[in-house]
Each structure stands twice: as C-alpha cells, then as structure tokens.
Amino acid sequence: MTIRRRLIFSNILMIIIPILLCLLLSTIFINIILNYAGIEGNLHSRSNDVFYQTVAEMKSLSTEWKYADEEKIKSELASFDLPQKSKAVSIALYEGNKELYQDGNFTTSPLTTLAQEKDKSRGHYTIDNTALFTVQAGQYRVYLYNKDHDYDKDNRFDLINQTINPGVLFAIFILFAIVLTNGILTRFVFRSIINPLNILVNGVHKIRDGNLDYRITYEGKDEFAEVCNDFNEMARQLQELIEARKKDDENRRELVAGISHDLRTPLTSIKTYAEGLVEGVAATPRLQKEYLETIISKTDDLEHIVQQLFLFSKLDIGEFPFSEEIFDIGLALDSFAKGAAEDYGENMTVTLENTTHQKYVEADPVQLRTVFTNLSENALKYGAEKDNQLLIKSYQENDHITIIFQDNGPGVSEDSLNKLFQIFYRGNKARTSTGKRNGNGLGLAISAKIIHRFSGTIQAENGPENGLKIIITLPVLEGIENG
C-alpha cells in the first residue's frame, strides 16, 4: 500500500472509528444506567407496587388477626393471590419457627432471622434489593418478602439526572475515541514512514563513509521503493564517476610522463649535436652537415609529437573539424594499400583482401586515411624483424563494414590488449624492435578517437598464431549505388 493510500485510509478511519466507538460505548453505558435505575422491564416498579399494596392490606388486617384462628388467616393470605401479581413477592405464616403456610415460593433469608431477633409486632426491613415486612397476628407471625425490591428508586433517578449529563458523557466518549484512534493510526502511519527513512539515512551514511559498493535492499511496494532505486542508481553513477576520475588522474600522470619522455629524447639529441657544433667537435664540412641534418630530423620528430598532441587534444574535447562525406570504402582501401606498398617497399609487404567494393560509409576520408596510416606505421614499428608483413582485410558483416590490419609481429600480452588505445601506452618490450623507430603511444589513441567519431568501434586481438590484429567496424549505408 502506498503512503498516499495509507494517509487517506487513516483519515477515513479517523472519522469512522470515533463514531463507531461512541455508539458502542454509549449503548453499553445507557444499558448499564437502565439496569441500575430499574427501568428494564419495569420489574422493580411492578414488585414494589405489589409489595407495598400488600403491606397496606396487612396493616389494616393486623388488628383482626390478633384474635383470628389459623384457618381464617390462611384464607385471607391466599386472597392476596401474590403469584399472579408478581413472581418476586411471596408471603408466609409462621407459628414460632414452624411454617404453617406460604404462597409465592417464600424462602427464609437473613431478613427473616433479623425480624425474629427484633421480635417486634410490626417491622419493615431491607437489605440490598430485598425487603421484608412482618406483622404479629396473635400467636402467629406473617412475613411478606420482596426479593426484587427498589427501596430508593426515585432518589436514584434524581441522582443520575443531576450528576450525569448525556452531552458531557458523549463528549468524553468522542475525546476518548479520538485519542485512541489517533494513537493507533499515528503509530501505523509513522512506522511505515520512519522505517524506510532510517534505511535511507543508513545508506547515505554508508556512501558518506566511502562505501560506494553499498546498495539499499527495500522490499516495499510504496513510494520509497522508487526512492531507494534512485538512490542505488545514484550510488552506482557516483562510484563510476569516482572511478573514472581516478582513471583520468592516472592517465593524466601517464600523459605528463609520456610527454616528458617523448620531448626529452629529441631535445637531448638536438642539444648534444648543437653543442658539438659550437665546441668544434664537427670539424669537417661533411660532419657538420650530418650534425645539422640530425638536428633537423629530431626537430621534425618534435614537430610530429606536438602535432599529434594537438590533434588528440582537439579530438578529446570534440573541437576537431571533420568533413564527413559518403564514399566507397572499397576504393579508399585500394588507394591506401597501393600507396602503402610503394612507400614501405622492402621494409614491409602490404597485402589487401578487399570485398567491400561499392560499399559506402559516411566519414571524413582524410582522417580515416590517417587511421590507416597510424595502423600501418604501428605494424612497421612492431612487426617481425625479418619478412615483415601487413595484411589488410575488409568485408561486410550484417549492417557494418569490418576492416582488419594484422601484422606478423610478436603480438602483445592479454593484459595489454585493452590498454593499447590509451595515450602514450607502448605495450611490452617484445613489441619494441631494435633498429626501428619507436612509437610515442599517440597513434592508436588518436585512431580510436577518430573511429568513435564515425560511430564505429576499434579493438585489438592477438592473431591465431602470432601478430596483432586491429579490428575496425564502421556502419554501412544501404541503398546507395555509384557513390
């Protein structure tokens, strides 16, 4: 049940329950009053009337009974016909302690004993709701007994009317019912709110204390369930954000270290050769020319690194201007492979297996060629020492074009595959060959940025026997013919 429904339900019960309790308590209390006052069935009134009427008759006959015999008194007692008038009133005739006559189920009681002890010619005795009237008739004694007597009925009615105000009682009942209902419903509603709040507070404290793996488990079906789900999602995103920030900090440190290393190496060479020229180490024109050519070469290396850093930074912040167009990817690969084969010559054999002619993609052809060049340069640097080969394959698979650049070098460790596209990552030592110009760890990082910009993917795998495979996928455009 949702909290909103709980509140509506509790408010309805706040109205209904006090009314029901008031009706119930009022009914019970009124019944108690009626029973106490002797109104129910008029039992007390009926027995009292019969009792006092008979008392009056007994008083008028008491003088005659002083001289009457037993049979006359019995006859006159029977004429009262008490059983027909009230079952609560009975009469008896005694001589000493011997019962001579009784009518109406007369039984002795403490009042009978009391009257015998008093031994008066006439007496009226009451205990609780019983009454006894006795009169002496010569040697006999007559007892009139009422077992359902109300000796002060009128006074009690006056007391009730004076001390009990029905309006006050009803107000008291309402107040009691409201307090009772409020207590029960408040506990019911607040417990359903406080418990989830405590769970949320505990979760917040866990996150505050650095436990980013903590997740709230809440089995309720109310509004708090959605809040707890949002809390867990927030905790997940926060954990990913902090992990990404830690990774960014680590990458930044690696970036600074990589830049320092890549700039320091050519700068050291430039400084060394420049000092050699100044100090006259290069004494001949030929040697001086070699020193200057080396300085120029190292300067070109510096310029290349700076250009790549600038390109990567522009790609990273999304400010690099792309000129995307639709073109035949098969023809683009044919053109690149032909040029690469001529450029690398005997240093690396380039082979193309192309099945994507008249397959079109939307990308920047210049920047895509930059990716192909980076991958080819990577194969040249880290390929086999002898008979270095680069295989370029392309084919269509479902809704995308797959392009593979595979060298025949030593490959990389499985742990390094996912790190190859990080900036300044150079892989293991097996991928660095003596006598070849080492890379600066920017080529694959730049290639990944460019491919992702074209809604493609790029990943690295080791070949089935040896070498490294760089696999690119690009979305293919269907329904386009002849460009």
Most confident listed range (125-134, 264-273, 401-410): 401-410
- Residue from 200, 166, 133 nearest 26 by CA: 166
Cα–Cα separations (whole angstroms), residue 355 to 214, 326, 358, 392, 451:
51, 18, 9, 11, 20
Task: Give the pair of three-digit tokens for residue 413.
Answer: 């460790």
Which residues 6+ apart lie within 8 Å of 203 measured at CB? 214, 216, 228, 231, 235
Compute the distance between CA of residue 181 and CA of residue 184 in angstroms, rounded to an integer.
Answer: 5
Two tokens, residue 105 = 């189920």
**Distance from the first to the final alpha carbon of the chain:** 62
**What is the H or E stretch that residue 389 is in?**
strand 389-397
Helix intervals (H) in 38-130? 43-65, 70-79, 82-85, 110-118
Res 346: pLDDT: 85
DSSP strands (E only) in 399-456: 400-407
Return the percent helix, strand and coil in the chain, to nearest 5. Answer: 60, 15, 25
Percent above pLDDT 90 for the chain? 19
When comparing pLDDT for 5 and 360, which is higher? 360
DSSP states along 254-297: HHHHHHHHHHHHHHHHHHHHHHHHHTT---SHHHHHHHHHHHHH
What is the CATH code of the structural domain delimited by 223-314? 1.10.287.130
Cross-strand partners of 457: 473
CATH number of 61-149: 3.30.450
- pLDDT tens by residue, 228-286: 889 899 999 998 999 888 887 876 777 677 677 778 878 888 999 898 888 888 888 89
Strands lying side by side in the sheet with 468-475: 349-354, 389-397, 400-407, 468-475, 457-462
Does residue 214 surpass a pLDDT of 50?
A: yes
Residue with tokens 């522009």: 314
Query: pLDDT tens, 451-471?
Result: 999 999 999 999 888 889 999
What is the Cα–Cα distance from 296 to 408, expressed in whole angstroms? 33
CA distance 30 to 36: 10
Token pair 């029973």: residue: 35
Confidence of residue 152 (pLDDT cuts 50, 70, 90): low
Question: Would 61-149 and 223-314 be classified into the same CATH topology?
Answer: no
Average pLDDT for 216-225: 80
Amino acid, res. 324:
E
Over residues 32-76, the pLDDT tens digits come to 665 655 544 444 567 888 888 888 888 888 888 888 888 888 888
Longest dimension (CA), the chain: 182
What are the strands, taking DSSP E only, across 22-175?
Answer: 89-95, 98-103, 122-127, 130-137, 140-146
* pTM greater than the 0.75 cutoff: no
Inter-residue contact 50 to 82 (CB < 8 Å)? yes
- pLDDT computed for residue 335 by the predictor: 93
Instruction: Determine the Cα–Cα distance for residues 221 and 238; give it in Å rounded to an integer.
Output: 25
Helix (H) or strand (E) holding 471: strand 468-475
**Measured distance CA(363)–CA(385) in Å, rounded:** 35
**Integer-rounded Cα radius of gyration of the chain:** 58
d(C-alpha 81, C-alpha 104), whole Å: 9
Amino acid occupying residue 103? D
User: Is residue 443 within 8 Å of residue 423, measured between CB atoms?
Assistant: no
Query: 3.30.565.10, 2.60.40.10, 3.90.1150.10, 3.40.1350.10: which CATH number matches 322-475?
Result: 3.30.565.10
pLDDT tens digits for 105-125? 888 888 888 887 777 777 888
Residue the block writes with tokens 């006052």: 37
Beta bridge partners of 401: 396, 474
Domain ranges of the chain: 3-38+156-196, 61-149, 223-314, 322-475
pLDDT of residue 431: 45
